[in-house]
Amino acid sequence: MILERPDGTRDADRVVALGPVAVVPDWQGRGIGGMLVRAALEQAEREGAAAAVLLGHPTYYARFGFLPARAQGLLPPAPWPDAAWLACLLPAWTPRDAGVVRYARPSWRWSRRPRNAASSEGIRRCGSCPGPPVSVVPRSTDLDEAGTDETVSLR
């Protein structure tokens, strides 16, 4: 992800995106979702990320330390609901890591594809989740590859 600070500076991969996380129904409730989220946060911390952000259910993600992101200084790339736009601040966080976060263009474009395009590729969308149907967002390698602040429609 690209972090755009209020002073105009930009930084790739200071903030990482997580989720939506999904576990097939027959395997839910066995701790798999929790393991996936914790593993992702541990990896982000190891790689020196300052925060992880996501669009998801606040009641589920609160247990991992995710709180409303805007209140912590991280603004979404589009007018997403504050209640579902969440951030987990990591040990490397500093006040200088506040700003607008944007998805890398490849994942942003993919998330905006029509529902039937995803289905025809054998990818099932998460029906109850307001976020893009991706569980792994490509790391940003080029600051010019940030997504735009176009509005996405939430289901």
Neighbours of 59 (CB within 10 A): 8
Q: How far is the CB of 90 from ligand COA (least distance, A)?
A: 20
Query: Strands (DSSP E) along 5-152, which ranges?
Result: 10-12, 15-17, 51-55, 67-68, 74-75, 85-89, 99-102
Residue 23 is a binding residue for ligand COA (CB under 6 A) = yes
Residue 17 is a binding residue for ligand COA (CB under 6 A) = no
Residue 26 is a binding residue for ligand COA (CB under 6 A) = no
Residue 56 is a binding residue for ligand COA (CB under 6 A) = yes
Among 28, 119, 148, 151, binds ligand COA (CB under 6 A): 28
Closest CB to ligand COA among residues 22, 92 = 22
- CA-based Rg of the chain, rounded to a whole angstrom? 15
Residue 21 is a binding residue for ligand COA (CB under 6 A) = yes
Q: 54 with 61: CB under 8 angstroms? A: yes
139 vs 81: CA distance, rounded Å: 24
Q: Which residues bind ligand COA (CB under 6 A)?
A: 19-23, 28-34, 56-57, 59-60, 126, 128-129, 131
